[in-house]
Amino acid sequence: MNKENLKAVSVLFTIILLTPLITSLLDVNFYLTQLTMSIYYAIVSIGLCMLMGYAGQISMGQAAFFSIGGYTTAVLTTINLIEYKGSFLINLLMKLRVLVLDKNVYDNDVLFFSPWVTFFFAIVFALIISFVIGIPVLKLKGHYLAMATMGFGIIIYKIVKGTKILGQADGISAVPLFKILPFLSIDGDISNRIENFYFAGFILLLGLIILINLINSRVGRALRSLHGSEEASNSMGINTSKYKLYVFMLGAVFASIGGFFLTHYNGGIGPSEAGVMKSVRYVAIVAVGGMANIWGTLIFGILLNFLSLRGVFGSLDDAVFGAILILVMIFAPDGLIKKRFLDALIVKCKIIIKKIQLKLNKEGN
């Protein structure tokens, strides 16, 4: 990691560290809940940013992978295998801690998959599905790729909405908490708010560092080259179809992880998470952030999701994100955060400060 990125990561680390302090000073501690959720959504976006911004491939099916992660854990942790208790296989799985025994709100025994195991499943399912979908779909380019991934997103949405075990239109609720450490469990309980915020921040930093490393590695160079010209990259010995597939799978895993944690945090998941408008939202965030700009994606991913979750956009939520996407494409195809723009801003600030200094000096004289 180079110096610039190291600095940025440490700034982000400090911000995450200080946020609970700031919210408690401002007496808006309830913001932390939405911030935690925004961070999980931002993880989905930075995965997509890798695919869109760096490898130059579009995916309008990112929400599908989010819901794959979320629904995988939701189904497996709400399933009750208590009636099979006593059979050899179940006993073995219990001994291996794959299954856990607990009591539900009615004080009945429930036997379900441990979230540790479902976390693993969420990643594996995302990998398998993105692999199977990616091979045919990534042969397409531009609009056709967008259409095909969107079609995939719609199919997943319809499956989620129509399958009984997935809760149909109601989704799945009463997803148990995910106890990671004795003092840390992923759930929406108010008493765990700060711990959960820190944990989300930790996951975000981890994902971010991994992606920054990747961008600056040999593979990252190959991906950026692929964005520039697929033909030239191919002629330089880069197996472009392989790299496109891998980065598509990487994005899917990020989405799945985001979906997994958010489902445990919210204690449930609904079919709207798989909707096409959610995918549009992720694409809009990457576009506003400046496509090949993981920091821009991160900032807008947290900001826009936070505003949306706070209900600032009201019932026009989806319309706002659609409008953002259209406006960015027309007026700022390179995104809102540009280094050039920031540099100019810094220079301007410096000039203003100098002017003020001069004025003060004059007055002093």
Torsion of CA 177, 172, 68, 196, to 10 degrees: -30
Are 19 and 35 in contact, with CB atoms under 8 Å apart? yes
DSSP 233-250: HHHTT--HHHHHHHHHHH
Q: Does 3 bind another protein (CB under 8 A)?
A: no
Query: 3-class DSSP state for residue 179?
Result: strand
Q: Does 10 bind another protein (CB under 8 A)?
A: no
Of the candidate residues 133, 250, 274, 286, the single one contacting another protein (CB under 8 A): 250
Of the candidate residues 77, 225, 279, 293, the single one contacting another protein (CB under 8 A): 225
Of the candidate residues 75, 138, 238, 299, the single one contacting another protein (CB under 8 A): 238
The token pair at 25 is 């000073």
With contacts defined by CB under 8 A, name the span among 134-142, 205-213, 308-316, 320-328 that binds another protein. 205-213
Q: Does 237 bind another protein (CB under 8 A)?
A: yes
Buried b (16+ CB within 10 A) or exposed e, 157-179: beebbeeeebbeeebbeebbbbb
Q: Which residues 6+ apart lie within 8 Å of 237 measured at CB?
A: none
68 vs 253 by CB, closer to another protein: 253
Q: Does 313 bind another protein (CB under 8 A)?
A: no
With contacts defined by CB under 8 A, name the span among 71-79, 119-127, 219-227, 268-276 that binds another protein. 219-227
Q: Does 220 bind another protein (CB under 8 A)?
A: yes
Q: Does 228 bind another protein (CB under 8 A)?
A: yes
Q: Which residues 6+ apart lie within 8 Å of 241 measured at CB?
A: 138, 139
In the shown chain, the binding pattern of residues 275 to 294 toward another protein, with x for contact by CB under 8 A and - for none, equals -----------------x--
Query: 3-class DSSP state for residue 302?
Result: helix
Task: Return d(Cα 3, Cα 14) in angstroms, integer.
Answer: 16
62 vs 233 by CB, closer to another protein: 233
Q: Does 233 bind another protein (CB under 8 A)?
A: yes
Q: Which residues 6+ apart lie within 8 Å of 125 measured at CB?
A: 68, 69, 72, 256
Of the candidate residues 218, 315, 340, 364, the single one contacting another protein (CB under 8 A): 218
191 vs 235 by CB, closer to another protein: 235
241 vs 272 by CB, closer to another protein: 241
Closest to 8 measured CA to CA, from 306, 210, 295, 293 = 295
In the complex, the residues that contact another protein under the rule CB under 8 A are 1, 210-211, 213-214, 217-222, 224-225, 227-229, 231-240, 246, 250, 292
